[in-house]
Amino acid sequence: MPHFWTWFGYCTPPFAMHPARAKASLAPGVWTLGSMLDSTSLGVFVASTDGILETMGDFGLGVSTRRHTNQPKKLRRGEQRDKNPKGTMATTNFTSIPTIDLSLASSPTTKPKLLSQLRHALVSIGFLYITNHDISPSTITSLTAALPPLFALPASAKQEAALENSPHFLGYSGTGSETTAGVADLREQFEFCTPHTFSPSELTSDGKSRKKNPNEPLYEQLKGPNQYPASFPDLESIVETYITSLTNLSTTFLTLVAESLNLPSSALHTYLSDTHRLKLVHYPPNPSSSSTTLARVQGVGPHKDSSGWFTFLLQASPPHVDGLQALNKRGDWIDVPNVPGTLVVNIGQGFEVITNGVCKATVHRVLGTRSERFSVPFFLGLRRDLRRGEAVGGLGAHFAEGKWRGDGEEGEGGEGVESAEGREVDSAWLTGRYDVWGEAQLRTKIRSHRDVGRRFYEEVFEGYVGGE
């Protein structure tokens, strides 16, 4: 049975192609084009058996990629499908991911437009592309070029940096060794963090990990030395250069976020951690994957990012390689294509708490594909000692319930809207199960890498993993 793609965008003349894809040729197929009008906006609808079309709308360029199947959204017993939850606006049920051009911040004439677009993306969507991010092309090229040979190393070479030997959850983990929502993920990865200098007395005899300090909380063990495969000596400098670049970018981005939400430019910086995380991820090709969602395996299961404020994702494969999807407020999975020259940014759990649920951490997943896929997520970290009281109370009045609308402007109603699937995703800090961010982080890591949890955190393992 053929599948269909639809595009829907709020249209403001002129109607335009996304510049990153304007030259792309469309595969042969039968196209129909029409317009449809609902209670809130004029949209453009395109249905096709194949091909890609993108439009420019009120809130910036949107890569509109909603896939329809014959399978309805699963509902819990007694739940009714609500196509327009009370207090929401149509934009909350996004069918595209907006693009924010950071170069607009350089001019007082264009900066208000950027802040308006960014506010909408943060409040109504939780996912966005950024362009003109000023990360050096050579930095990106060096990193992406390193990925295929890195993951092509013999298993024995990769195991030299095995994550299972690190109480800090840093290093290499093989395909299927990490789980999301209790299901093994079809990916292998290297995980790193901001490099720190440790004294010899702080480290174990082999220098690969930091000793536990009985005078500090257990979650401080999340900070430790990185591990690199000895057979790839250039990797350390490549990774550290990228971490430095993304740390600078994300700090600048955080300033724009604050301004877009009508806060002082430095209001959010007090929550920043001294440690951020980076993953180099390889999704092996899966020949059994088909074009239908139901027949595709889990690359990474549905989740909200639990590693901090924001995630900055480099999709490091050719543009035709897909797999990343975001869940809109209605419960539909929306594809997030690989657009050259962009980074994908999404909200993490920490930012959802600090904004009192006004800016939701959007649930997302990765499906397996017939082609191998590489990705590089950078996780902007929160202070490990941050308590919910400080996080919620610090800006509580600003993000008071009922003050924000779903269109990103202060007003009445619309905040906190989320699909049933989104509410069911495991989020220990969001639900208040743990008071300290660092402990919630440690719990997430232990649940994802249970072999490491059993080995290094026996005293809390059962408490963190039990009761699933």
Sequence ranges of the domains in the chain: 1-58, 98-465
Helix, strand, or coil (residue 6):
strand
Pairing of strands 179-180, 183-184: antiparallel
pLDDT on residue 204: 93
Nearest of 139, 67, 132, 136 to residue 96 by alpha carbon: 67
CA 45 vs CA 16, 56, 63, 280, 295: distances in Å:
14, 13, 13, 37, 27
For residue 123, what is the DSSP state? Answer: I
Q: What are phi and psi of 191, to 5 degrees?
A: -120, 135
What's this model's pTM, rounded to 2 decimal places?
Answer: 0.78
Residue 463 CB contacts under 8 Å (≥ 6 apart), including other chains: none
Positions in the chain whose pLDDT score sits under 50: 1-91, 294-295, 406-415
DSSP-assigned beta bridge partners for residue 31:
48
- 194: exposed, middle or buried (Cβ count in 10 Å: 0-12, 13-18, 19+): middle
In the numeric block, which tokens belong to residue 310? 């924001």
Bond before 377 cis per omega within 30 degrees:
no
pLDDT on residue 248: 96
d(CA 64, CA 143) in angstroms, rounded, equals 28
Our CA angle for 13, 16, 18, nearest 5°, is 140
Q: What are phi and psi of 411, to 5 degrees?
A: 175, -145
d(CA 254, CA 276) in angstroms, rounded, equals 14
In the numeric block, which tokens belong to residue 23? 């030259």
For residue 233, what is the DSSP state? Answer: T
In the numeric block, which tokens belong to residue 258? 């604050």
The tens digit of pLDDT for each residue in 200-254 reads 999 998 888 999 999 999 999 999 999 999 999 999 999 999 999 999 999 999 9
User: What's the chain's length in residues?
Assistant: 468
Residue 127 CB contacts under 8 Å (≥ 6 apart), including other chains: 94, 97, 121, 326, 336, 344, 345, 346, 347, 362, 364
What is the residue type of 32? T
pLDDT on residue 451: 92
**Is CATH 3.30.70.20 the right assignment for the domain spanning 98-465?**
no
Residue 149: HSE in the Cβ half-sphere, 13 Å Cα cutoff: 11
Helical (H) or strand (E) element with 99: strand 96-101
Q: What are phi and psi of 414, to 5 degrees?
A: 100, -20
The tens digit of pLDDT for each residue in 429-459 reads 767 678 899 998 899 899 889 999 999 999 9
Query: Residue 8 in contact with residue 64, Cβ under 8 Å?
Result: yes
